Amino acid sequence: QVQLVESGGGLVQAGGSLRLSCAPSGRIFSFIAMGWFRQAPGKEREFVAAINWSGGITYYTDSVKGRFTISRDNAKNTVYLQMNSLKPEDTAVYYCAARSSSGIATMVTEYIYWGQGTQVTVSS
């Protein structure tokens, strides 16, 4: 069983930055792919970014490319989402998710472990 705990959300003005962290439990962290998703009110949960087990492969949804960076520190058992140049449309609850395998994925159904979510609000 893998438990995920997110932190780092908050309120920021447009153009600002936030860094989200996710600390999965369990020794399998180093061997599994991780992802970040978000869900705005009234909308479906959507893919934001993913990283493979080693950190050597990353993938982003088009709307965050060049602004967000996903990374991981396997020694610290933590995955990060650095969010720069934030826009009001980035406002959502952000979820950390883990797969049961090492390769990246972009669909909600490909992830089996989920955090409780952290609110990110970007004011205009």
Interval 58-105: pLDDT, tens: 999 999 999 999 999 988 889 999 999 999 999 999 999 999 888 999
- DSSP per-residue string spanning 49-104: EEE-TTSS-EEE-GGGTTTEEEEEETTTTEEEEEE-S--GGG-EEEEEEE-SSSS-
Q: Three-state DSSP class for 105?
A: coil
Q: 64-81: string of b/e by CB count within 10 Å (b at 16+)?
A: beeebbbebeeeeebbbb
The tokens describing 27, both together, are 């020794």
User: DSSP secondary-structure letter at 6?
Assistant: E
pLDDT digits (tens, 9 = 90+) for 17-71: 999 999 887 666 777 899 999 999 999 999 999 999 999 999 999 999 999 999 9
Token readout for 44 is 């479906």
102 and 49 Cβ atoms separated by less than 8 Å: no
